[in-house]
Amino acid sequence: MAIRMIVKEPDEVLHKKAKEVMVVTPNVKKLLNDMRDTMYDADGVGLAAPQVGILKRLIVIDADEEHGLIQMINPEIISREGEQLGPEGCLSIPGLNGDVRRSETVTVRGLNREGVEITITGSGLLARAFQHEIDHLEGVLFTDIAEKVYEYIPGKETGE
């Protein structure tokens, strides 16, 4: 188990576009494992490689019991439906939350850790997590697109 340091805003790596992974190597699999361990250690539901300082298109998400841990290489959203507005936070921006408008349901295509193409459709929190983590791969933070940003207060669900 390797816990990596989570990069914090305003580190410039968080604002850069990540590069496509061309070959799934043992190092890519190790990075996915480290990201998983780091996400769980920080009590997060998702983590993108730029958040550990690596500009590669890798994400890990564990947002619902149905799907469990998702490790995805080169994820891309291929369809969107509906709309949700809700609170988001980020391991790279501790102490802040924001109200962010996202698609209610997304279908995401990418590679699993074995290099096999997979497609996952998720709604609610899973859809939000996919969109949030894929934004990280584009150098976009939730604070860039939030309708309202506010101090995070444990137990308080909105900025109202």
What is the C-alpha separation between 141 and 124, in angstroms, rounded?
Answer: 19
Q: What is the pLDDT of residue 158?
A: 46
What is the C-alpha separation between 140 and 135, in angstroms, rounded?
Answer: 5
Q: Is 132 annotated as a binding residue?
A: yes
pTM of the model: 0.94
Domains of the chain, first to last: 12-151 (3.90.45.10)
Q: What is the percent of the chain where pLDDT is above 70?
A: 96
Q: Is 67 annotated as a binding residue?
A: no
Options 76, 133, 151, 157, the catalytic residue: 133
> Is 133 an annotated catalytic residue?
yes
* 96-154 confidence digits (pLDDT tens): 999 999 999 999 999 999 999 999 999 999 999 999 999 999 999 999 999 999 998 77
